[in-house]
Amino acid sequence: MNLKNLLLGSLLSSLSLVACVGEPLDSDLGDEAAIDDTELVGEDAEAIVGPGGEQGGGGITRNVTLACSITYPSMFNVTASIKNTSIYAIPDYAKLSYTVTHYYGSPAPFCGSTTGPLAKGATKNVSLSHQGALDAYGCSAKASWTID
């Protein structure tokens, strides 16, 4: 495979990530005024101040980027290995969202979710059984939860 084909394949798979449509997070369903009250915390976390503002009355939603890779524990068993590389221990009520990309851009990126917990440095393996899972080559993941 020459470099030109490799770069073209990489570009196409990057563009296919834009078309991923997943289910909205609970925090995405709030009113538009809450979006104005955002505050960045740390390098890899984002805290959103709740409807009560900084004086209280609302929770803080924390979004953390996680490491994700595709593994093949056996020939026809494909998993997304999600590793907590953040500075936070992820609670059991947190939503772990992941997006799986495939060779040749087909099928479109698969979006899925599961729940925590996930300790610092721990890995959670999620079996992939969607159509085209055997052609999976990469993934990305994040965790989201609200602190009252």
Give pLDDT tens digits along the chain (148 positions): 444 444 444 444 443 444 444 444 444 444 444 433 434 344 445 555 555 555 555 789 999 999 999 999 888 899 999 999 999 999 999 999 999 999 877 778 999 999 989 999 999 999 998 888 888 899 999 999 998 8
* CA atoms of 120 and 33, how far apart (whole Å): 33
pTM above 0.85, yes or no: no
List strand residue ranges (DSSP E) for 9-135, in order. 38-41, 45-49, 60-74, 77-83, 95-102, 110-115, 123-128
